[in-house]
Structure 1
Amino acid sequence: QVAPKINMSFDKDGDHYYDTLSAFQKSIRGSDVDAALYYLAKLINAGDLLSIERRLLVIAYEDIGLANPALTGRVLNAIESAKRVGLPEGRIPLSAIVIELALSPKSKSAELAIDKALDVVNKTAYQTPDYLRLTPVSMDQEDKYDYGDSSLWHRIQYLPDELKDMSFYVPGNNEKVLKENNEKLKSIPRSNKLRELKKRKR
C-alpha cells in the first residue's frame, strides 16, 4: 500500500512559516546538516525562494562570519544559480550551499564587534581627530595626515583619545590568521602626534 502524499505547503504569513525559517537558521548554526536540509525542504515546498535566499545571506554573515569569509561569495553564487534555473532545479545549488554552511566553522565576532561599537556610539559622541578630517582645521603640514606615506599609516592613532585603548573586535577561535595579524598590529604603538611620527622616520 502506497502512503498518501502529504501536502507540506503552509501559509507564508503564518507563525509556522517563520518558525521554520528560525529552525532552519538554528540548525545551520548548530551544524546539524540533516536538520538544515529538512527545514530547507519545507521552505522549498512553500515555494518562497526569496525568503530562503535572504536567510542564507544572513546566516553567511551572522553565523559563519569571519571563520570562513570566502563562503559568502559561494552563497551569492548559489543564490544566483537558484534564481536562474528556478525551482525545482534550484533546489540543488541551495542544498549544496546549505550543506557547506552547516559543516563550516562558525564565528559571530563580526556581529559582536559592530554591536559593541554601536553601543559606544549610541551612548556618547566623540570628536573626530583633526588630522583625520576630510577638510582639517588650520594645521601645519607636519601635523596633517600624509596620504603618500603608507609606512606611517599603521602607526597613527585613529580612535578619539577617549577610546584609544578600546577593542571592539575580539577574534574567534576559528580566525587564526586574523587573530595573528590583529595581535601583530596591536603590538605597534599608535600616536596622535603625527609630527613626531614623521620626525622619527627621518
Structure 2
Amino acid sequence: MKSIGAGRLPSMILWGPPGTGKTTLARLVATSTQSDFQPLSAVTSGVADLRRIVAEAKDRKGMHRRSTILFVDEIHRFNKAQQDVILPHVEDGTIIFIGATTENPSFEIIAPLLSRCRVFTLQSLNPDQMKKIIARALTDGDVGLGPMHATMADDAADYLVSISNGDARIALNAMETAAYTSTPDAYGNRIINLETISDALQRRSPIYDKAGESHYDTISAFIKSVRGSSPDGALYWLARMIESGEDPMFISRRLVILASEDIGLADPQALGIAIAAQQAVHFLGMPEGRIPMAEAAVYLASAPKSNTAYAALNQAIQDVREQTNEPVPLHLRNAVTEMMNNMGYGKGYKYSHDFEGHFDEQEYLPPSLKGRRYYFPGEEGEERQIGERLKEWWGGEAADYQSS
C-alpha cells in the first residue's frame, strides 16, 4: 500500500486459492493508482492479445502519461513463450504486470519474469471473514442483495460458510441464486433458508465448476463420447470444457489415457497422436492449444476401439494380489555372478534371437500359472493381425488367443 500511495507500483503476482479476491484486488490497485486496467484470461488469450495491449499502453503512456496495468488471470496457463512476450515490457516500464494464479509461482512463472515481480500470497478466507462478506452482501444496495430485502437464516449462513470452503465467489453466487429463487412474502422480503441455499449450491455453476460435480460430469461425457466413437459429441464436450476454463493439460492427459485404455492396440498410432497433442498444448499454450486437442479428440473418437491390453493388465494384477508371491523361475533369472550361475540362474533359457523367426516356445509364468492367458486380442483394426501372429507362434496350445 505504501508503494501505491507513493506512485511506485511494482509488478506483482497474486497467489492464492479461488475466490480470495485476486481479481478484485488487482482492480482496486488500478483504481487507486488511476491506471488503465487491461484484463486478460490466460485460458482464452494469446500472444496477439498481449501485443495489442502493449501497443495501446505505449500510446497511452506517450500521449496521456497514464500507466497501464496488464492483469493476466491464471497466468500459470501461459507457456514460456507467452510469458516471454510480457517480460521486456515489464522491464522497460511500458506496463505494470499483475498476474493471478492458484499455482506455485516458483514452478509456473519463468524465472526472469518472476524476479521482476513481488509475490503476494492470499489465504483462503476464514469463517469470520466469510460471515462478514455474507452480511455485507445482504445489505449492499449497489452490487449486493439490498434492493431485494433478503435475509438469511443463521443455519443457512453457517452451512454456506462451511460448504464454500473459504471461496467468496461460491458463497456470493449461491446467495444470488437463492435470493432470486426465493418467493417474497407479503412485504416483499425474501428469506434465504437452509433449503434454498442448499438448492442454490447445487445450481451455483450452470456452465461449469472446475472443482465440483459439473467438472466430473463434463469430462465423463467427453470420455464416453470418444469411447462411443462420436466425434461430434467429443468436440461438443471439449468445447464446453475449453470455454469454461478447464485446464488444457487435464484434458490432454485424459486424451492420453483414452488412447491407451479405449483405443489401445486396435490403432497403436492413437497413443502417439494423443501424446503429441499434449506436447503441442504445452508448447503452444491457449487458445492455439485447442486445435491439436480437437484433432486428437476427433482421431480417437473415429479410431477402432479395443480395451484388451487394459483388461489383460487388470486380470494379471488380480492374480498378483490373490496368488502366492512365487519366486521368479530359474531359467528367467539373470546370472550376473559365478555363484548365481552355479545355483542354476538362467539355466535352460532360450535366447529368442537364436531361433528362426526370433521365437522359440518356452514358459514365462510361474509354475502355478502355467498356461494362464491374460491377453486376448480383439478383432478390430490392427489388433486382428496381432492375434493371427500370436496364434502362429503359439499354435494349438494357445488357440484361445483368438478373441471370442
TM-score range for the pair, normalised by the shorter chain length: 0.7 to 0.9
For the Cα contact (< 8 Å) 1:29–1:102, is it kept in 2?
Answer: yes
Match for residue 123 of structure 1?
A: 322
Instruction: Please list, as runs of the form range in 1=range in 2, the aligned pairs for 1:52-201 lying within 5 A after superposition.
Output: 52-124=251-323, 125-135=325-335, 136=340, 138-139=342-343, 143-145=347-349, 147=351, 150-151=354-355, 154-174=360-380, 175-187=383-395
For the Cα contact (< 8 Å) 2:207–2:244, is it kept in 1?
Answer: yes
After TM superposition, the structure 1 stretch with the greater mean CA deviation from structure 2, 32-41 or 127-136, is 127-136
Amino acid at match of 1:179: G
For 1:143 and 1:82, the matched residues in 2 are separated by: 50
Amino acid at match of 1:145: Y
4+ runs deviating over 4 angstroms: 139-142, 146-149
Deviations 1:169-191 (A, max 9, x none): 0001211110011111221879x
**Does 1 or 2 have the higher relative contact order (CA < 8 Å, sep 6+)?**
1
Deviation at 1:127, TM superposition (A): 2.7
Pair 1:85–1:9, CA change in 2 (3 A): farther
5+ residue gaps, structure 1, are 1-6, 191-202
What is the root-mean-square deviation in Å for CA atoms of aligned residues? 2.5
Aligned residues: 184
Pair 1:34–1:138, CA change in 2 (3 A): same
5+ residue gaps, structure 2, are 1-204, 399-404
For the Cα contact (< 8 Å) 1:155–1:189, is it kept in 2?
Answer: no
What TM-score results when the alignment is normalised by the length of structure 2?
0.42
Identity among equivalent positions (%) equals 38
Deviation at 1:87, TM superposition (A): 1.4
Deviation at 1:92, TM superposition (A): 1.1
What TM-score results when the alignment is normalised by the length of structure 1?
0.82
More strand by share: 2
- The structure having more radius of gyration, on CA atoms, is 2
Deviations 1:7-46 (A, max 9, x none): 9852210110111011100000001111110100011113
Deviations 1:69-91 (A, max 9, x none): 11111111122112222111111
Match for residue 44 of structure 1?
A: 242
For 1:8 and 1:157, the matched residues in 2 are separated by: 57
For the Cα contact (< 8 Å) 1:113–1:170, is it kept in 2?
Answer: yes
For the Cα contact (< 8 Å) 1:8–1:42, is it kept in 2?
Answer: no
